[in-house]
């Protein structure tokens, strides 16, 4: 069960139409593009999907579309997190009904639970659904960190199978790999730190940049998985400007702008997210050209 969630999982953007509605045709098209490029699983309705601005109905619909497009070819891990445990339990059940194969559940944010609160929160979510759960640790956004000891304790919950480690703290990531059981998956939540993490036991990543370059990141992680770090480093070095460029402003502003420039979606966000400022747009366009990725002139807004 756990190896279904190794490799590259793409944290899908949510495309919107100019009027602000979810672009369902684009959701389907982007999911298909990922599958055709060889990614290993899909992650709709995470941070990169602007999920806080989606209604519960929209979140379920996006997951249903991605599940339908995946058609069993790759697993679908649906975002289901928040700061109210009862609401997260409800969201988890809804994602199960939508056909998701697993859940990505961010730590409760703003209210800053203790380690005991985290354990009880995720126990409640696990009790509500049989779906495998990937913890999402991103303290820079949530103000709540899963330390290595707490991660090891959470790993004792039978259906908690993995953590997306996006602390940006390589020492903590190393300690997590050492603390958790051997079959517990540690996935990178930072594209640029994927190879260092895999060198000490990580099993892949949940990626922002694979929205733009799914084949390249899949090849990089597959090379690392088979121990060919020289080949993995060559890809990493070539695409590193994009891995970093996607975070010159708050995610998903840069990645969504870049994808619009590539002709893959509209450059439309829901407030409070907005398109990157002009200087950042120029940097991103230069990176796309450097990587010889297609740029649609009409998308340069």
Residues with a catalytic annotation lie at 136, 164
Tokens of 4: 């279904």
Yes or no: say if 118 and 83 are a contact pair by the CB < 8 Å rule: no
Burial class (CB in 10 A: 0-12, 13-18, 19+), 126: buried
Measured CA to CA, the distance from residue 199 to residue 173 in angstroms comes to 11
DSSP for 124-170 reads HHHHH--S-EEEEE-HHHHS----HHHHHHHTTSTTEEEEEE-S--H
Q: Which residues partner with 186 through β-bridges?
A: 163
Q: Which of 74, 75, 136 is CA-nearest to residue 109? A: 136
Tokens of 258: 């870049």
SS3 label, residue 103: strand
């Amino acid at each position: 069960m756990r190896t279904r969630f190794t490799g590259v999982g793409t944290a899908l953007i949510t495309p919107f139409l100019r009027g602000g509605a979810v672009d369902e045709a684009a959701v389907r098209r982007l999911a298909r593009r990922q599958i055709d490029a060889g990614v290993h699983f899909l992650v709709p309705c995470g941070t990169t999907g602007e999920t806080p601005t989606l209604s519960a109905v929209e979140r379920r619909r996006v997951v249903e579309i991605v599940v339908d497009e995946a058609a069993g070819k790759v697993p679908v891990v649906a975002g289901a997190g928040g700061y109210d445990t009862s609401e997260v339990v409800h969201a988890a059940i809804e994602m199960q009904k939508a056909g998701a194969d697993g859940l990505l559940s961010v730590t409760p944010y703003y209210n800053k639970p203790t380690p005991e609160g985290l354990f009880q929160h995720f126990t409640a979510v696990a009790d509500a659904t049989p779906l495998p759960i990937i913890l999402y640790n991103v303290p820079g956004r949530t103000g709540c960190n899963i330390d290595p000891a707490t991660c090891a304790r959470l790993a004792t919950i039978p259906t908690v199978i993995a953590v997306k480690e996006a602390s940006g703290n390589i020492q903590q990531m190393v300690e997590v790999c050492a603390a958790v059981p051997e079959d517990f998956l540690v996935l990178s939540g930072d594209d640029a730190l994927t190879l260092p993490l895999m060198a000490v036991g990580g099993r892949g990543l949940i990626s922002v940049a694979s929205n733009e370059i799914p084949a390249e990141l899949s090849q990089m992680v597959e090379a690392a998985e088979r121990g060919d770090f020289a080949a993995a480093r060559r890809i990493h070095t070539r695409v590193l400007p994009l891995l970093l460029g996607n975070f010159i402003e708050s995610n998903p502003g840069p990645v969504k702008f870049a994808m619009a420039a590539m002709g893959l979606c509209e450059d439309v966000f829901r407030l409070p997210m907005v398109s990157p400022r002009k200087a950042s747009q120029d940097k991103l366009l230069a990176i796309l050209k450097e990587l010889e990725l297609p740029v649609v002139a009409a998308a340069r807004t």
